[in-house]
Chain A
Amino acid sequence: MANAAPRLDGLVDHLFRHAAGQMVSAIARLVGPNRLDLAEEVVQDALLRALQIWPFSGMPDNPRGWLFQVARNRALDILRREAVLRDKLAWSENLVDLTPRRDASPADAIGDEELAMMFMCCHPALPQPARIALTLKLVGGFGVEEIADALLSQTAAVAQRLVRAKRQIRDEKIALEIPPPGEVRARLPSVLDVLYLLFNEGYGAHGGDNLTRADLCAEAIRLAKLLAENPHTDRPSVRALLALLLLQASRLPARVDEVGDLLLLAEQDRARWDRAMIAEGMAHLDRAATGDEMTAYHLEAGIAACHATAADAASTDWAYVLRLYDELLRLKPSPVVALNRAVALAMVEGPAAGIEAITALRSHAALAGYHLLPAVLAGLERRAGDLEGAARHYGEALQRRSTAPERRFIEKQLAAIERERRSSG
C-alpha cells in the first residue's frame, strides 16, 4: 500500500519560538529598527504559512532556513511595493540597498543579530518593564499573552507597553547593534539585569501550574549563553550571571516532590540535582573569577555554588555563605538580600539570631507584602520551639500573594505545627 505520510518529525522543542526571535532580529537588521512591526509581521506570516503547508507536505529539510526565506522574501516584497508607491525612480535604488549583505543562510544570519536585538531591547533609555517585555517579545519569540502570563500582568497592559517602547525606539533612534567595544561594559548591566529578573520570575513559579513562567528560566540561560559565547560580550559579569543561573536551575528538578509540592533546600533529594548543569555552572564561575570585575552575580553564584557542592544542608559551609551574604549586602543593599542573609545567620548562630535579624526587617516597606518574610520567620520560630509564633506567622504568609505550591507548602507546615502542639499540649 502506498504510504506518503508527510514527515513532521524533527520539531525540536520551542523551534518556532526561538526561530521567531532569531528571524525578527535578523529581519529588523535588514529593514531597520524603525520597522520592528514589519519584521514581526513577516515572521508571523512565515510561521502561519508553515502551519498551512507542513501538515500536508511534511517538514522541509531545513525548517529554520525555510521560515527565514519566506519571512525575508515577504519583507522584501513589502518594501518593494512601498517603494513603488512612493517613487518609481527610487525603487531600483532601494532594491540595491535592500539586497541582504549575505546570502540568506540562517546559520550565518543569526547570533550577532540576536545580541544586537538584546542590547536594543535592554537599552537604558527604555523603562525597565518595557525592556523585559520587549526582550521576551522580540528576542524570545513569546506572544503578548504569554508575556502577560509570565509577568502576571494584563495582556492589554503588555501590548501597550510594547507599542510605547517601539515608538520610543523609533523616536529616539535607539540603535539596533552590539555597542562598540568601549561601551559594552557600561551597557551590559541593564541587559544582565533583565536576564536576572526573567530567571527569577520563572524560578519563583517553577512547579506551579504556569508552564510559561517556568520557560523563563530556560530562556534567561539561553540568552546569557549567547552573551558568553560572543567575544565582544564575554565579560566576567556575564560568566558570573550564567554560572548563577545554571547553579540555581540545577536544583529545579528537585524543588518539588512527586505531587508537585515545594521542598526546602534541606529536604531536597540532592541526587536529583542536575550534576551536568552544576559542573557547567562551576566552570563559568571559574572563568568569571579571571577578570577585573566583582559583581553581585559573582557573590550570588558563589553562594549557589556552596549549596550545589555540599553533600547535604548540614555540611554546607554556612559561615562562608554568611560572609558572602555580608559582602553581597554591602554591594547590593536590598531587603530581600538581608532576609536571605538572616537565614544563613540562623544556620551559623542559631534560630534566635535569625529571628532577631528578620524582626528588624519587618518595618521595611519593600517587604510589606512579601510572603517569604513571615514564612521564613515562622520556619525559624518553629526550629526555636515557638510553635505559637510559627503558626501566627505562617498564617500571615498565607494572607500575602504567593504561588499555589507555596501556599500548599505553608498549609502543610501549619498542619504539622497543629499536630505538634496537640501532642505536646
Chain B
Amino acid sequence: MAKFLLLARGAGLRPEMSPEEIQRTMLKYKSWTERVAGSGRLIDANKLRDDEGRVLRQPGGKLTVTDGPFAESKEIIGGYWLINAASYEEVVELTRDHPHLQFNTLEIRQIHEM
C-alpha cells in the first residue's frame, strides 16, 4: 500500500451559492470523506491557512524570508487529504466524484517511500 497526497486547490466557490446549496455541498464532502475513511484509507486531512505563507531563499548564502509565493488565489493549495491506496489509478477512481471538482482542481501526488 502506498500513500498519496490529494491536494485541493483553493478558491473557486461561487459567491452566490445559497445557504442550502452550501450545506448540500458540505454533505457531499461528508459522504466522500466517510466513504474513504470507512474503508480505512484516510490517514489525515488538513486545511491550510489562507494567508500567503512564507518563502525562504538563500541568495549568496544569506537567508531571506518573504511573504508568500503570491500564487493566483485559485492556484493556492487550500488543503489536503493523505490517503492509502495501491496506485494512482485507484486514487483517481476514489476521487472521480469528489465534490471539490465542482469548484476547482485536485492534484494527486504519491509519497516517495524508501
A contacts, CB < 8 Å to B: 1-6, 8-9, 11, 14-17, 19-20, 44, 47-48, 50-57, 141-146
Of B17-25, B59-67, B87-95, B105-113, the one contacting chain A is B17-25
**Contact between B18 and A11, CB atoms less than 8 A apart:** no
B37 at the A/B interface (Cβ < 8 Å)? yes
Q: Which of B13, B27, B36 has the most CB of A within 10 A?
A: B13
**Contact between A55 and B23, CB atoms less than 8 A apart:** no
CB pairs A–B below 8 angstroms (26 shown): A2-B44, A4-B42, A11-B23, A16-B22, A16-B26, A17-B19, A19-B19, A20-B19, A47-B17, A47-B19, A48-B13, A48-B15, A51-B29, A52-B13, A52-B47, A52-B78, A55-B33, A55-B79, A55-B99, A55-B100, A56-B45, A56-B46, A57-B46, A141-B19, A141-B20, A143-B19
B16 at the A/B interface (Cβ < 8 Å)? yes
A51 contacts across to B, CB distance below 8 A: 13, 22, 25-26, 29
**Contact between B45 and A4, CB atoms less than 8 A apart:** yes
Main secondary structure of the interface of B (DSSP, over half): mixed
Q: Which residue of B lies closest to A43 (CB)?
A: B19
B54 at the A/B interface (Cβ < 8 Å)? no
B28: min CB distance to chain A, Å: 9
Partner of A16, one of B20, B36, B50, B79: B20
Main secondary structure of the interface of A (DSSP, over half): helix
B53 at the A/B interface (Cβ < 8 Å)? no
Partner of B79, one of A4, A11, A48, A56: A56
A19 contacts across to B, CB distance below 8 A: 19
CA A15 to CA B100, docked complex, whole Å: 21
B40 contacts across to A, CB distance below 8 A: 1, 3
Q: Which of B23, B44, B78, B81 has the most CB of A within 10 A?
A: B23
Q: Which of A3, A9, A16, A141 has the most CB of B within 10 A?
A: A16
CA A97 to CA B36, docked complex, whole Å: 49
**Contact between A54 and B19, CB atoms less than 8 A apart:** no
B57 at the A/B interface (Cβ < 8 Å)? no
Q: Which residue of A lies closest to B1 (CB)?
A: A1
CA A56 to CA B81, docked complex, whole Å: 8
B30 at the A/B interface (Cβ < 8 Å)? yes
Q: Which residue of B lies closest to A5 (CB)?
A: B37
Given the known interface contacts A6-B33, A142-B20, the answer about A50 and B44 at a Cβ–Cβ threshold of 8 Å is no
CA A55 to CA B44, docked complex, whole Å: 12
CA A8 to CA B42, docked complex, whole Å: 14
Q: Which residue of B lies closest to A18 (CB)?
A: B19
B78: min CB distance to chain A, Å: 6
B75: min CB distance to chain A, Å: 15
B15 contacts across to A, CB distance below 8 A: 44, 48
Partner of B27, one of A3, A11, A53, A143: A11
Given the known interface contacts A3-B42, A5-B33, A8-B26, the answer about A143 and B20 at a Cβ–Cβ threshold of 8 Å is yes
A54 contacts across to B, CB distance below 8 A: 26, 29
Q: Which residue of A lies closest to B13 (CB)?
A: A48
Q: Which 10 A-B pairs have the closest CB atoms?
A: A143-B18, A5-B37, A55-B29, A8-B30, A56-B47, A16-B19, A16-B23, A20-B19, A56-B79, A17-B19
CA A141 to CA B21, docked complex, whole Å: 11
A9 contacts across to B, CB distance below 8 A: 30
CA A53 to CA B47, docked complex, whole Å: 6
**Contact between B16 and A8, CB atoms less than 8 A apart:** no
Partner of B18, one of A5, A56, A142: A142
B52 at the A/B interface (Cβ < 8 Å)? no
B34 at the A/B interface (Cβ < 8 Å)? yes
